[in-house]
Amino acid sequence: METIDRIYLDYAATTPVDVRVAQAMLPYFTELFGNPSSAHFFGQQTEAVLTTSRQKVASLLNTQPNEIVFTSGGTESNNLALRGVALAQREKKGANHLLVSEIEHHAVLHTAKQLADHFGFELEFLPVDEYGMVSPEDVRNMIRPKTALVSVIYANNEIGTINPIRAIADACHEKKVIFHSDAVQAAAHLPIDVRIEGVDLLTIGAHKFYGPKGIGALFIHRGTPIMPLNTGGGQENDLRAGTENIPYIVGLATALELARQDLKDNTERMTQMRDNLISTVLGKIKRVKLTGHPLLRLPNHVSFAFEGMNSNYLLTLLDAAGFACSSGSACKAGLSKPSEVLLAMGFSKNWAKGSLRVTLGRQTTQDQIQAFCEILPTLVEKARSF
Ligand SMILES: *Cc1c(COP(=O)(O)O)cnc(C)c1O
């Protein structure tokens, strides 16, 4: 029998589907099941909702519907952006150089590494400062005539730092280089406008903003050279073949719309809890640092490094006490290696092994944060003594 109250503080890993989103999706599994490519009535019904969903997403990101491609999630959007642009740019002008930041999500990092290891591209890493931020000046200096693509994460999943995306986009465009940004975390919390940001490609994924897992989108600015990864029936503007996942596309569009509606209130509420949590932990515990930028960070995102501690011990103790947190990226759980992101930011191994990420969400309350702050010092002490 479950005897403890479980508190979820890992909203950067994933979020529950909003009930309103689930309700909007439901009819498209059963009554409204036609294939949007079919010419008959059933197909027209789902083609219509595909069109309105695409319009909704495009208008929320301030772009045109034909610049939105639906994918199976953030990972696939990043794969399509990197591999698709790299291959097209090499074909078009012999470009063979890729520039990505040191703190990309694995969906970007491992795609770039594969392009380097197996497809003959040269991969170079943009450094980050102590806050995990990329400098537009470095981008400007490191771009070469043969650069096919620059990719920089909008807001980092592990440390919450928000990059100066507009300035990086400007640096790329001065040199006529294509710029992609992984905005999977950012889209949940910031009113992203692709025109203001000036990006050529931008990745979003629904399950980070109370939509379903397994659905994402890629904004591709009109005219950007890109090769499809999925070839077949010509769906999604010939860029992502396969019968469209209508219920999930409806889910993504609905979830993004709701996220935007509640953005201001949620941001204020979460920023307050976030800053409360940060100052309490820094005040109560010794040999701890906030990781990532203190101000230019996601409103729901808190991350620390504890010296002389292994984060897996702490996560296990927290879990036993009912608190679900993370050491950084969910994909890395299980391994007890020092965080690559923290190492890139200049932390020593003795600090980088002791990372903790606490991410807040719509269901988080101040009481939960207080309970967390009360238990954390004892658990850190225990984890340090192992
Ligand atoms: C979660 C996440 C992804 C992966 O998205 P999926 O939809 O889970 O494939 C990519 N990038 C960032 C920054 C993320 O946080």
- Residues with CB under 6 Å of ligand 1 are 73-75, 105, 107, 153, 157, 182, 184-185, 205, 207-208, 216
How much is the pLDDT for 330?
52
The CA-based angle 68-72-77, given to 5 degrees, is: 55
State whether residue 7 is helix, strand or coil. strand
Residue 367: how many other CB atoms lie within 10 Å: 9
| pLDDT at residue number 262 | 87
Q: Give 357's strand partners.
A: 303, 326
How far is ligand 1, taken at its centre, from the CA of residue 284, in Å?
33
Q: Which residues contact 101 (CB under 8 A, 6 or more apart)?
A: 125, 126, 128, 134, 151, 152, 153, 163
Nearest 5°: the CA angle 331, 336, 342 is 75
Phi, psi (rounded to 5 degrees) for 183: -110, 30
Mean residue pLDDT of the chain comes to 96
Dig out the tokens for 35 from the structure.
Answer: 């294939």
Q: Is 179 helix (H, G, I), strand (E, B) or coil?
A: strand
Comparison of pLDDT for 337 and 327, the residue scoring more: 327
Report the 10 Å Cβ neighbour count for 168. Answer: 27
Residue whose CB lies within 8 A of the most ligand 1 atoms, among 185, 192, 256, for a mutation test: 185
Residue 3 predicted with pLDDT over 90: no
CA-nearest residue, atom 8 of ligand 1: 74
The count of C-alpha atoms lying within 13 angstroms of the C-alpha of 187, restricted to the half-sphere facing its C-beta, is 31
List pLDDT tens digits, range 27-54: 999 999 999 999 999 999 999 999 999 9
**Which strand (E) or helix (H) includes residue 249?**
helix 246-261
Q: How far apart are CA 143 and CA 246, in angstroms?
A: 40
Under a CB-based contact definition with an 8 Å cutoff, are residues 207 and 217 in contact? Answer: no
Other CB atoms within 10 Å distance of the CB of residue 231: 12
Q: What is the pLDDT of residues 194-236, one digit of tens each?
A: 999 999 999 999 999 999 999 999 999 999 999 999 999 999 9
Number of neighbouring beta carbons within 10 Å of residue 221? 18
**What is d(CA 132, CA 341) in angstroms, rounded to the nearest whole number?**
8
- Asked if residues 107 and 75 have their Cβ atoms less than 8 Å apart, the reply is yes
